Structure 1
Amino acid sequence: MEHSPAVRGRGIRKTFGNVVALDGVDLDVAEGQVHGLVGPNGAGKTTLLGLLLGLAVADGGSLEILGAPVGRTLAVPGGVAGFVDGPGLYPSLTARQNLAALASLRGHGARTAGADDALEQVGLTDVADDRVRGFSLGMRQRLGLAAALLTAPRLLVLDEPANGLDPAGKRHVHRVITRLAADGTAVVLSSHRMDDLAALCSEVTVLATGRVVFSGTVSKLATESGELDYRLLTSDPDAARRVAADAPGLGVPSRHDGAGPRDADALVVRGAVPVIEDLVVRLVEAGVGLRELAPVVPPLEAAFLALTGAGRTAATGADRKEDAA
């Protein structure tokens, strides 16, 4: 069954003075889809999320949200909720009072029952009457999600929703997002956590310096990593190293080049998936027991680093402008 588009952007462009934050960005998000938005600092993620929430307007291109064209005014269609740069909350009010105040501002009255249900969904029932000023970062993130749930959104936009979450809080957030998507809500979330992308997202858009460098499924993104370093633990390390040295297409990085393991019993090899599979067959044929085989850097993370030119640590003008925004 084909879903209708919740977001359709074509050639979106946004500048801040001389800084180009978004440069011809295309974005498609279907109803019922969790779409990941990733990229290094300064890539344009925050700017794009702000456009989806009506906090800014594009300088060029076209954007449709829930079937309605977005013009050059600070507004988006009803049915959109979320937060960027952290949720806006009243620190002197309790969690329940915050939700009641937000519901009242939106014209829904006190909506006590709705607030209690939202708090339960994100796992904050036990602290519903505690003042928000004492909340941790993760608790604030969950309360921000609860506030978004009050509107029964058709498009939910979340900026780093897993930031500061402990395992229990992360489980609550993942459960809420998965349920919303199953009910037809489109979710766009930014994250630096590759495990969140793998667990939640069906498709991902990767931004770098304001441009799309990848858009597609999570599984397709993983294949973009190409050759990876894999760590092997075997029953006979010396024999394993000899077998690896004779395997075609396989590299054995030096232990001093930053890729090798620190313990003497482990071996690091480099190659594409078919080459690693061939190595496993060769080890078994040689009578070497394989006890552990895992990528040194997970495939999604490796693909992200390759696509975005990882390793560049100097902040650009775009970095500073977007961080300030």
Structure 2
Amino acid sequence: MTSTLAVRARALVKHFGEVVALDGVDLDVAEGQVHGLVGPNGAGKTTLLGLLLGLAVADSGRLEVLGTPVGRTLSVPEGVAGFVDGPGLYPSLTARQNLSALAALRGQGAERAAGVGAALEQVGLADVADDPVRGFSLGMRQRLGLAAALLTKPRLLVLDEPANGLDPAGRHHVRRVISGLAADGVAVVLSSHRMDDLAVLCSEVTILATGRVVFSGPVSKLAAERDTLDYRLLTSDVAAAERVAAETPGLDVLRERDPGVRSDPEALVVRGSVPVLDDLVVRLVRGGVALREFAPVVPPLEAAFLALTGTGPGATQTDREDAR
């Protein structure tokens, strides 16, 4: 069964003077889907999020939000909520007062009193509901912004770096909230520089580089985009492991002169495709070499991101030219 699209964008273009912020961007986000939006600084992520929230309009292209065409006015249909560049808050007011004021501005003051408390509880801020926001950390402000968005019972939630400033416990809490919303049918579009957030939360991801889409699809396919991976091995016999690695077809043993390789006499860093790395493991076991650690130097999602955007050491000159 095909999911209903909460966002359908085709060939979106947005200029700021002579700067091309978006250059022919397509985007599909289904209901009940968490869709990641990533890219280097200046790639156009914030601009695209702003279009989805009705904070800006495209110069050309087509955009439908919750089944409604978005024209050349600063507006979006009911059911859209979120924030870009951090939530706007009143520092002298408490968390509860901030949400109550927001509900009142929307004409929902009286009937939303209980909703304010529920939203604060949902994001884990019930214990500091009556503390002034000026004393909140960046992570607490991000969670309060999420609570403000939840007040509207959104069908499309747009979040700019929602895990920014959060400690591990806070990230886990916010991830649980977002996953729960998606399970209830809410479409979520979030930007993030954290590949671990993408891996845990997102079913699909769109990567932007200089305003263009360089990848869009399932997170699992993104991880597979990287042809070769660098892996760090810690074994019972590093000399024997290096001999086995040198004899494994298609595998490169990285030396200290290679960028990003840490000097560790007890470890070995190798580069190869997934099948070649699998072959190495089989050869080590057959050779009686015990594996104590076998992990990517850079997580596969991050490696793919760096290569696709032409921003990492694994990117080729062609990658960098394509990303411009």
Q: Distance in 1 between matches of 2:123 and 2:227?
A: 38
Per-residue deviation, residues 5-53 of structure 1 (Å, max 9, x unmatched): 0000000000001110000000000000000000000000000000000
Per-residue deviation, residues 261-295 of structure 1 (Å, max 9, x unmatched): 32201000000100000000111111111111000
Secondary structure of 2:146's counterpart equals: helix
Alignment partner, residue 47 of structure 1: 47
Q: TM-score, normalised by structure 1?
A: 0.95
Per-residue deviation, residues 302-321 of structure 1 (Å, max 9, x unmatched): 00000001059xxxxxxxxx
Q: Give 1:112 deviation, angstroms.
A: 1.7
Q: Percent identical across equivalent pairs?
A: 79
* Greater RCO (Cα-Cα under 8 Å, separation 6 or more): 1
Alignment partner, residue 288 of structure 2: 287
Alignment partner, residue 322 of structure 2: none
Structure 2 counterpart of 1:105, one-letter code: L
Contact map agreement 1:231 1:261 (CA 8 A) in 2: no
Give the direction of change, closer, same or farther, for the CA distance of 1:72–1:178 in structure 2 (3 Å limit).
Answer: same
Per-residue deviation, residues 144-171 of structure 1 (Å, max 9, x unmatched): 0000000000000000000000122112
User: After the TM superposition, which residues 202-281 of structure 1 pair with which residues of structure 2 at under 5 Å, given as runs?
Assistant: 202-281=203-282
Q: Distance in 2 between matches of 1:236 and 1:46?
A: 49
Secondary structure of 1:219's counterpart equals: helix
Alignment partner, residue 187 of structure 1: 188
Alignment partner, residue 163 of structure 2: 162
Per-residue deviation, residues 205-229 of structure 1 (Å, max 9, x unmatched): 0000000000000000001121111
Task: Flag structure 2 segments of 5+ consecutive residues without an equivalent.
Answer: 314-324
Q: Give 1:2 deviation, angstroms.
A: 2.2
Alignment partner, residue 11 of structure 1: 11
Alignment partner, residue 71 of structure 1: 71
Per-residue deviation, residues 155-210 of structure 1 (Å, max 9, x unmatched): 00000000000122112211110010000000000000000000000000000000
For the aligned residues, what is the CA RMSD?
0.9
Task: Flag structure 1 segments of 5+ consecutive residues without an equivalent.
Answer: 313-325
Q: TM-score, normalised by structure 2?
A: 0.95
Alignment partner, residue 322 of structure 1: none
User: After the TM superposition, which residues 115-126 of structure 1 pair with which residues of structure 2 at under 5 Å, given as runs?
Assistant: 115-126=116-127
Alignment partner, residue 34 of structure 2: 34
Regions of 4+ moved over 3 Å: none
Equivalent residues, number: 312
